[in-house]
């Protein structure tokens, strides 16, 4: 089974190859060279800075013990994450809040030493403290499993691939012999296949890791029923409350604990998450262990 470092390398290599192939199709050798340089720069940026880019995209605000978020039972959000990180034997991650009505959460960062967790204000409004604790344990499980590197990188590169057709048109498109006009067929193929390839890469990464993060999150919190209850609530609310940032940047949807996109009910091949019902069933089957 591939480790996440291997998966990350394969992902970056695949993205580079796709960029070079598209650059060659649309711009010949010159297009291939420029595409290779762009892919190299994008991979460097994705590894070192993609977590910061995603947090900024969502307007995440960092909290600490001095500006701990919320009132009442959520006053201890930072302390909750700290306790769970100690349970998981992880370095303390940076903790963020996103002013967003849709209930959701995600983790990001290239490794446990540079990790961050973020939760929306919406999730804090619908979950009780025990359920929120289960969610944050799930996110820390992603950190412990080192899922966050490949998750954040895939979100960044998928967004870049989605604009690859525009990049390709800079080179005039794939030319017909003796004709300077762009080949419309190649242009259409790039517009359709490049985003599809990005989505397939994301889906290959996302599904199984959620089950493992649920299992490990239950281990960290020692309360699988709380995470199961949280997933049921989030699933119900998230599909009724739109998330404008996620809709504008659908490549980030696979980072969330529940798919934030309005088409999330279209299950099956094109779902970035396992079925919530199955996740809940698996969690409840673990309850006797704790």
Examine the pLDDT at 139 and tell me if it is beyond 90: yes
Most confident by average pLDDT, 25-34, 90-99, 175-184? 90-99
Q: Which residues sit in the known binding site?
A: 138, 142, 210
Where does the pLDDT of residue 242 fall: very low under 50, low under 70, confident under 90, or very high at 90 and above? very high
The H or E element that residue 200 is part of is helix 184-221
**Residue 217 and residue 227 in contact, taking contact as beta carbons nearer than 8 Å:** yes
pLDDT in tens, 169-217: 555 444 444 455 555 655 665 666 666 666 656 655 667 889 999 999 9
| Among 162, 142, 166, 144, residue whose Cα is nearest residue 152 | 142
**Residue 11 and residue 42 in contact, taking contact as beta carbons nearer than 8 Å:** no
Q: Which residues sit in the known binding site for Zn(2+)?
A: 138, 142, 210
Compute the mean pLDDT over every residue in the chain, rounded to the nearest whole number: 81
Among 74-78, 112-116, 274-278, where is mean pLDDT lowest?
74-78
| Among 182, 162, 163, 164, residue whose Cα is nearest residue 173 | 182
Quote the pLDDT of residue 282. 97
Quote the pLDDT of residue 190. 61
**Count of the separate structural domains present in the chain:** 1
What range does the domain containing 35 cover?
4-289
Most confident by average pLDDT, 17-26, 122-131, 179-188? 122-131
> pTM (2 decimals)?
0.81
* Residues 101-115, mean pLDDT to the nearest whole number: 95
Catalytic residue from among 71, 83, 113, 139: 139
Where does the pLDDT of residue 266 fall: very low under 50, low under 70, confident under 90, or very high at 90 and above? very low
Examine the pLDDT at 281 and tell me if it is beyond 90: yes
**139 is annotated as an active-site residue:** yes
Examine the pLDDT at 268 and tell me if it is beyond 50: no
């Amino acid at each position: 089974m591939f480790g996440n470092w291997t998966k990350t390398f394969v992902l970056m290599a695949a993205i580079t190859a796709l960029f070079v192939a598209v650059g060659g199709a649309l711009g010949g050798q010159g297009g291939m060279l420029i595409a290779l340089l762009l892919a190299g720069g994008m991979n460097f940026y994705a590894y070192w800075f993609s977590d910061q880019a995603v947090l900024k995209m969502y307007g995440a605000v960092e909290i600490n013990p001095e500006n701990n978020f919320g009132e009442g039972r959520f006053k201890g959000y930072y302390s909750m994450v700290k306790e769970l990180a100690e349970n998981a034997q992880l370095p303390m991650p940076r903790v963020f809040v996103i002013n967003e009505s849709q209930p959701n959460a995600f983790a990001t960062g290239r490794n446990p030493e540079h990790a961050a967790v973020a939760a929306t204000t919406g999730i804090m409004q619908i979950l009780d403290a025990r359920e929120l604790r289960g969610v944050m344990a799930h996110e820390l499980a992603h950190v412990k499993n080192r899922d966050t590197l490949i998750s954040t990188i895939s979100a960044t590169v998928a967004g870049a691939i989605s604009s690859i057709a525009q990049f390709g048109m800079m080179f005039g498109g794939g030319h017909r012999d003796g004709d300077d006009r762009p080949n419309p067929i190649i242009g259409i193929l790039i517009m359709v296949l490049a985003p599809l390839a990005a989505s397939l890469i994301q889906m290959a990464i996302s599904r199984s890791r959620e089950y493992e993060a649920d299992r490990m999150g239950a281990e960290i919190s020692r309360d699988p029923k709380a995470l199961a209850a949280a997933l049921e609530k989030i699933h119900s609310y998230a599909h009724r409350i739109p998330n404008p940032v996620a809709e504008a940047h659908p490549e980030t949807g696979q980072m969330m604990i529940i798919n934030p996109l309005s088409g999330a009910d279209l299950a099956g091949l094109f779902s970035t998450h396992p079925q919530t019902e199955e996740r809940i069933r698996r969690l409840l089957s673990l309850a006797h262990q704790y």
